[in-house]
Chains A and B, each alone.
Chain A
Amino acid sequence: MPLLYLFLLFFFQLSGEVVKTYLNLPVPGAIIGMLMLLTYLALTPANENLKTTCQTLISHLPLFFIPAGVGILAYLAEVKAYGLSIGVALIAGTFIGFVFSLLVLKKVLRSS
């Protein structure tokens, strides 16, 4: 993972933060940075090193989610009190939302 390309990603991430702060947007800086990188990719010739750097980072996405998951420990009292009912609501809600999305996508994208 050549450092130059890691720097390029940091650069877009930082620029995204700057744009977000400056324009007071509700969108996270990283998503603005993603759009900037997308524009950059569309305008420049293909680069294998940049591709490798992106793929390496993406393949380790789960690692970067661990801290947020561990954060649930701060709500141990709530989890003990309502954990089961909220958990069931979350699983049922997610399942319904997922199936509904699949049905809508199937209907809309097939007919287009």
Chain B
Amino acid sequence: MIATSQASLLTTLTTTPLFSLSLTLAAYLLGIFIYRKTGQISILQPVVTGIVFVIGSILLLELDLASYLQGVDILNTLLGTATVALAYPLYQNFSMIKSNVAPIAFCIVVCGTISSGVAVFLAWSVGASTPVLLSIAPKSITTPFAIGVAESIGGYPSLAAALVIVTGIIVAVIATPTFRLMNINSPKIQGLAMGMTGHGIATTRAFEISNETGAFSALGMGLMGVYISTILPYIALLMRL
């Protein structure tokens, strides 16, 4: 009797938004702590530790995933608010951005099409199903975009969101070694490439490199999001033919 009431108390407690939010915040803070302690090893970014810690807790404590996701829904809203806030670094670097509009637009179209195409082709070649392919196509654009696009073209929205996160982490991890290897020092080129392929997560990493790199990353992310989410519904139509 006592055991059952304790069990139900635990269930009631763990299904509250307060619990989900506390768990997520604790995981994130732990992530920041580890990241700083290890001297910013890029694979140990706070978002990686945070996700692993939360997933671990859910599996270990057998928490209900749906109620967890419902509880942290406010964080999705705040992701939108933080996206709005990216206007600030853009504004700070506006003059430099303005003088490069045409070449930047050209790169967005070419690189966006090729990157998305290559990823879908590789996934197709290892036998991924059509809905999975359609969830991979928007992998380089930030979650609010990707969820909407995946939904409209017939992919799985939450799988698309997760693949977006994984892609962002990959870009954040490979960025600096790749720059060193290819001898790329321009914050303009670094930032645009990071934002175009790795959206918000790579943008956070770009701000660690420099404010200018971060601003260009925010620009690349915004433009790529607009381009891919406009063009993908039409490409998906073609794919079905």
Contact = CB atoms under 8 A, between A and B. Distances in A.
Interface of A: 6, 9-10, 12-13, 16, 26-31, 33-38, 40-42, 50-51, 53-55, 57-75, 78, 82, 85-102, 104-106, 108-109, 112
A75 B149 CA distance: 19
A95 B170 contact: yes
Nearest to A27: B226
Contacts of A16: 84
Contacts of B196: 101
Contacts of A72: 55, 158-159, 162, 165-166
B79 interface: yes
A101 B51 contact: no
In terms of DSSP, what is the predominant structure of the interface of chain A?
helix
Nearest to B135: A75
Interface in B101-118: 102-104, 106-107, 110-111, 114-116, 118
A86 B174 contact: no
Contacts of A94: 115, 119, 139-140, 167, 170-171, 174, 197-198
Contacts of A105: 107, 111, 188-189, 192-193
A9 B193 contact: no
Given A58-B89, A90-B167, A75 B81 contact: no
Given A65-B143, A70-B58, A78 B132 contact: yes
Given A29-B80, A85-B127, A69 B156 contact: no
B210 interface: no
Interface residues of B, number: 104
Contacts of B46: 62-63
For A33, A69, A78, A87, the residue with the greatest tally of chain B CB atoms inside 10 Å of its CB is: A69
Interface of B: 24-25, 27-28, 31, 45-47, 50-51, 54-55, 58-59, 65, 68-69, 72-73, 75-76, 78-91, 94, 100, 102-104, 106-107, 110-111, 114-116, 118-123, 125-128, 132, 136, 139-140, 143-145, 148-149, 152, 156, 158-159, 161-168, 170-171, 174-175, 178, 182, 184, 186, 188-189, 192-193, 196-198, 200-201, 203-204, 207, 222, 225-226, 229-230, 233
A60 B86 CA distance: 12
B178 A102 contact: yes
B88 A41 contact: yes
B222 A31 contact: yes
B21 to A, nearest CB: 10
B107 A58 contact: no
29 contacts: A6-B81, A10-B81, A13-B83, A27-B225, A30-B81, A31-B145, A37-B84, A41-B87, A53-B85, A55-B88, A57-B78, A61-B203, A62-B28, A62-B46, A65-B201, A66-B72, A67-B24, A67-B75, A68-B161, A74-B158, A82-B126, A89-B126, A93-B119, A94-B119, A97-B114, A97-B115, A100-B118, A101-B111, A102-B178
